[in-house]
């Protein structure tokens, strides 16, 4: 046999493996959810809390993988942005409901805020994955409060996640500046990946020739980190 170069279909192999891991994690998160429900009935608080922590970790990894897979599908033309009119009070309510239980176990209250009747066109799946990541971070860093809000600002929708934690470090602000300049360094940082995903999702939303973008900063309503996704 001649020396044939071995080709390795890296991206497809990784995508397949990620999909498989994600399924397992989904099952794991389901088991943990049911376990926590049963423990709650037995009124074993300390165990319930520990199971909540486990469930949180599995959901966090799950969200990481969903973002990875979503980026892969988008780059492989296996998904394209599907903007549909979303009614924001309803969208935020569901987001709050999804995270409230785990956040409450950590003593963190989640609140949502949005003008009555506000609606906007965006891809519900992509935007909720990006926001879920920001809320998951709040689970780690917030002290007692996290707020998700939506408002129209100068003809653009601003979706904001704010908490009362220590805020973004200077390195995150630097990371976002690099991402905005289309430069993705390989430095290990979950924040960087989260920001990259949110920025990509925002940029994929286009209207009237403009694309969306994100901004991060410190201060806001509760004096902690503030992430804003702007969608045209």
Residue 39 three-state SS: helix
Instruction: Considering only residues 124 through 143, tell me which ones interact with other proteins, judged by CB under 8 A.
Output: 125
Give the residue, chosen from 90, 152, 153, 174, that forms a contact with other proteins under the rule CB under 8 A. Answer: 90
Give the residue, chosen from 116, 154, 181, 208, that forms a contact with other proteins under the rule CB under 8 A. Answer: 208
152 binds other proteins (CB under 8 A): no
Could you tell me the CA-to-CA distances from 208 to 156, 205, 232 in Å, in that order?
11, 10, 8
13 binds other proteins (CB under 8 A): no
Give the residue, chosen from 47, 54, 100, 218, that forms a contact with other proteins under the rule CB under 8 A. Answer: 100
Could you tell me the CA-to-CA distances from 57 to 22, 154, 210 in Å, in that order?
13, 38, 36
Instruction: Considering only residues 167 through 186, tell me which ones interact with other proteins, judged by CB under 8 A.
Output: none
CB 205 within 8 A of CB 211: yes
Q: How far is the CB of 160 from other proteins (least distance, A)?
A: 21
Which of the ranges 6-14, 62-70, 138-146, 217-225 carries the binding residues for other proteins, by CB under 8 A?
62-70
Q: CB atoms < 10 A from the CB of 195, how many? A: 25
Which of the ranges 42-50, 98-106, 133-141, 155-163 carries the binding residues for other proteins, by CB under 8 A?
98-106
Of 33 and 141, CB closest to other proteins:
33
Residue 150 three-state SS: strand
Distance CA 229, CA 161 (A): 9
Of 115 and 219, CB closest to other proteins:
115
73 binds other proteins (CB under 8 A): yes
Looking at residue 91, what DSSP letter applies?
H
Beta-strand pair 109-113/145-153: parallel
Residue 229 three-state SS: strand
15 binds other proteins (CB under 8 A): no
The first and second tokens of residue 126, run together, are: 């992509």
Handedness of CA 73, 74, 78, 79 (dihedral sign): positive
Q: Which residues bind other proteins (CB under 8 A)?
A: 19, 22-23, 26-27, 29-30, 33-34, 66, 69-70, 73, 76-85, 87, 90, 93-94, 97-98, 100-101, 117, 119, 121, 125, 206-208
């Amino acid at each position: 046999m001649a020396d044939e170069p071995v080709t390795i279909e890296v991206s497809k192999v990784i995508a397949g493996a990620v999909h498989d891991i994600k399924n397992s994690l989904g099952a794991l998160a389901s088991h943990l959810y049911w376990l926590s429900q049963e423990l709650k009935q037995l009124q074993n608080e300390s165990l319930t809390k520990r199971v909540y922590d486990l469930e949180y970790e599995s959901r966090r990894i799950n969200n990481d993988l969903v973002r990875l897979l979503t980026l892969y599908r988008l780059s492989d033309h296996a998904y394209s942005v599907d903007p549909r009119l979303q009614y924001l009070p309803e969208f935020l309510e569901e987001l709050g409901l999804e995270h409230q239980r785990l956040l409450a176990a950590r003593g963190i209250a989640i609140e949502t805020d949005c003008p009555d009747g506000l609606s906007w066109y965006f891809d519900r799946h992509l935007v909720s994955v990006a926001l879920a990541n920001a809320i998951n971070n709040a689970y780690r860093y917030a002290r007692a409060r996290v707020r998700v809000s939506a408002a129209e600002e100068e003809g653009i929708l601003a979706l904001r996640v704010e908490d009362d934690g220590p805020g973004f470090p200077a390195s995150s602000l630097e990371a976002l500046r690099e991402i905005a300049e289309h430069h993705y360094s390989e430095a290990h940082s979950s924040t960087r990946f989260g920001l990259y995903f949110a920025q990509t999702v925002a940029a994929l939303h286009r209207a009237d020739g403009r694309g969306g973008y994100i901004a991060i900063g410190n201060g806001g309503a509760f004096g902690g980190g503030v992430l804003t996704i702007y969608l045209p």
